[in-house]
Structure 1
Amino acid sequence: MTSQWLSYIGSINTPLMVLCFDIIAEAPAAFDHPRRTQYTPGLVRAREAPRLQAVLVRDPVYFAESRNGFCAFQVENTLFNVHQVLLSREQSAFVDMLSLPQPAKGAEGSDETPVFLSDTVQQFRDFLWALYAPPNELFVETGIDRLLNVAEMANKYCFSSLETWTIERIYALAKEPNSGLLNAAAPDVCGRILGVAILCDHQKLQDLVTQHLVSRILWYNTPPEAVLGIAEKYQLHTLIGVCYYRQLVNLERTSICRNSRAAHTAFPESIDIEKRLQFLAAQQSLLRLWEHIRSLPPTLSCAGCPSHAECELAWQLMWFQAGEIDEALRQGSADILGRMKALMLALRKAMAEAPSMTMQCKMAALEAITEIRDEVIEGLVTHFVKPL
């Protein structure tokens, strides 16, 4: 186990192998591995005026009964005592603090005057877990809450190697179909994963989670409110448009259920006048876009078709007919994607029964429909927010 631990530390930062010997030599007496630490939690009181004069408790796992080479931290009402060598192994935010000379009595970072951190106890505990955990625990960890805490803390305190490892671990879990991470996670957890991906500048994870959330909101009725906050915070225009669109469509459907003859959308009192006007304008804009789409069949790009002109004529006729079916027209005026879904289903059925259309042109037609739908999704925000 010791050789695996040193190999892991060395792969991140070679000089750390020297520092790691100090920890291993000191661990049996002072800390050992956190899970083997024997300690009965005691109570102390904070002395500094700016902090709440509340009873503090020593963390039962990450408070070593040693002073030399350790630094004490207060997080909420909990005290931690941590190896300085672990906190200094990279050019992190702790390095300058630990390098400053301190008076012998009452030095900040001691048990009596701990360094105050504005994190939560669970965040800091998970961060310390990552610093102390052996490789076999790190590489099998699948708890998304813990991994997100570690990524956020590593980013905050500039532990670049730990941040890189954690965000890559989250990405590996997210893209693994068998893990079921994104499918099983609640919308707010997916939103938090998205926020961490942006925080750590991991574009692939950001794109993956965004695509997943768009799909869940549009096609699986995931409540958009759980995601809208993170989308607006980071100005994710596609996701903002999808959330607004789903809110408007849901309002339309609620109005129709209450009164099948309603010609207007009924807004709840919680939506202010400005938002109502914004949604009403978007409703009309989306209806105009639908009328434009169904009146203008896309051109088929099909090289090598021996009867392309005949295929184009058949395609245009099928497009106009599909745009008039009841399944498309009975959708709400803002529900352009619902209308397009009905249009696509009708076109697929018509093409399957159209022997005059070659297979090449049928494939090109299906691709054209998908491209229009994707363009509509990308541009949803423009119907609600002008200009961006």
Structure 2
Amino acid sequence: MGAQTVPVRDSEYYISEGNTTIRVEGTLFKVHRYILARDGSAFENMFSLDAHVPSFSDSSREGCSDENPIVLHGDTPDEFRALCWSLYALPAEVFQMPSTQSDVIRLIHLARISHKYTFRSTESWALHVLTVCQTSADPSSTDSISASITTTPILTQLTEVAVLCNNEELHEAVEPIWADLLFTGQTDDIVAAMTVADKLNLRPLLGLAYYLMMLKGKDEWNWNGPHKLTRDQRIKLLSGYYNISRACDALPSNPPTLVHHPSCYMPPGVGVQGTAAHTSHVRCGEAWSSLWSGLTLRMLNDGGSALKIQSVDLLRKLHLINHLLESLLNGNEDSAMFGSANMNKNCLRNGLKASEDKVNDVLYGLADCFVE
């Protein structure tokens, strides 16, 4: 049987005047009971129960000494130290915005442990400051705080604490930072995003991360870096490749639904089936289908090879189609070449909007492609 680890006193928050000793892993903290009982915390209930438990002497109560501490399970010394910092620090220290990576990590620890022990106002404040840090961070900046926030380990912790605390504002602030990081194309960052998205079931992040890894090809799927892909992740990638390949093949024959502009409709009583007016209206819809097919085929035959678009890069194909539609609207392309001369120009503008909406639909539906 191995020797038990002798706990050590925390260098900062083992306060000699304190009246409650708490052990977190191998570290002892000595703090004031009334401090821990504030903010409607779980410690308040814990200590109130102590008052109703018969005891022969104060020395038998948990927390009365180093030999009989209150033992917290599932926490780390860093987390409890962050809680003590929030309870004991001077206002000037607490309300100073984070300026280093260690400051951000301390706030993450604080949000996590204050959530667990229901320090409601402390949790809310920590999450708010973390959210402000994300929204003000510049990914291209080299200052320490911006650089630290945009690293994969910090983003992973921020994402986890946002989900743990069910904080939508922090989650929404972190999402675009993930996207910026993923589009840099580093394999280890993409795999880390896949892993955290799988763990927390974050569909938008999951879809984008798997999509970008799919585009890297099978050689990268067998990558043996620090974040090696699991068997389940490889199966999802194969499934996604198949599903997105089918969507790309069907793209020319599946234009977005066109909502005709009011100027394309005929006045009441005009445009009865079989009349010239009705034929003109139908012709606009047919022109849209022909235009979409023509743009798609041109992009595949010319633009695809020139721009080196992969056969399964559905998002990039759609973005290129939108670019061509904008060129048509601006008169930079020959409308007769694509058969759009028969389209109402306002309807063509609606078609571009429908195509842009299709990009968003595909983006948010990517997770459905990567299934086991």
| TM-score normalised by length of structure 1 | 0.71
- 1:234 counterpart residue number: 200
**Alignment partner of 1:122 is 2:39:** no
Residue 368 of structure 1, CA deviation: 1.8
* C-alpha spacing 1:336/1:120, structure 2 compared with 1 (3 Å): same
- 2:250 counterpart residue number: 292
- 1:339 counterpart residue number: 317
- 1:163 counterpart residue number: 123
- 1:247 counterpart residue number: 213
**Alignment partner of 1:59 is 2:7:** no
* C-alpha spacing 1:347/1:157, structure 2 compared with 1 (3 Å): same
Over residues 342-367 of structure 1, what are the superposed CA-to-partner deviations in whole Å (9 max), with x where a residue is unaligned?
33333333433158677755543432
User: Of the candidates 134, 139, 143, which is equivalent to residue 174 of structure 1?
Assistant: 134
* C-alpha spacing 1:91/1:250, structure 2 compared with 1 (3 Å): same
Contact 2:137 2:146 in 1 (8 A): no
**Alignment partner of 1:104 is 2:54:** no
Percent identity over the alignment is 27
* C-alpha spacing 1:225/1:55, structure 2 compared with 1 (3 Å): same
Which residue identity is paired with 1:153? I
User: Of the candidates 289, 303, 327, which is equivalent to residue 327 of structure 1?
Assistant: 303
Residue 86 of structure 1, CA deviation: 0.9
- 1:224 counterpart residue number: 190
Please report the RMSD computed on the Cα atoms of aligned residues, expressed in angstroms: 3.4
Aligned equivalents of 1:272, 1:145: Cα separation in 2: 28
SS at match of 1:148: helix
SS at match of 2:23: strand
* C-alpha spacing 1:162/1:300, structure 2 compared with 1 (3 Å): same
* C-alpha spacing 1:273/1:58, structure 2 compared with 1 (3 Å): closer
Which residue identity is paired with 1:385? V
Residue 106 of structure 1, CA deviation: 4.8
**Larger RCO (CA within 8 A; separation ≥ 6):** 2
SS at match of 1:248: helix
Aligned equivalents of 1:52, 1:88: Cα separation in 2: 35
* C-alpha spacing 1:52/1:214, structure 2 compared with 1 (3 Å): farther
* C-alpha spacing 1:127/1:274, structure 2 compared with 1 (3 Å): closer
User: Of the candidates 100, 112, 115, which is equivalent to residue 152 of structure 1?
Assistant: 112
Any gaps of 5 or more consecutive residues in structure 2?
266-279, 336-340
| TM-score normalised by length of structure 2 | 0.74
Contact 1:62 1:82 in 2 (8 A): yes
- 1:193 counterpart residue number: 158
Contact 1:328 1:340 in 2 (8 A): no
Aligned equivalents of 2:254, 2:108: Cα separation in 1: 47
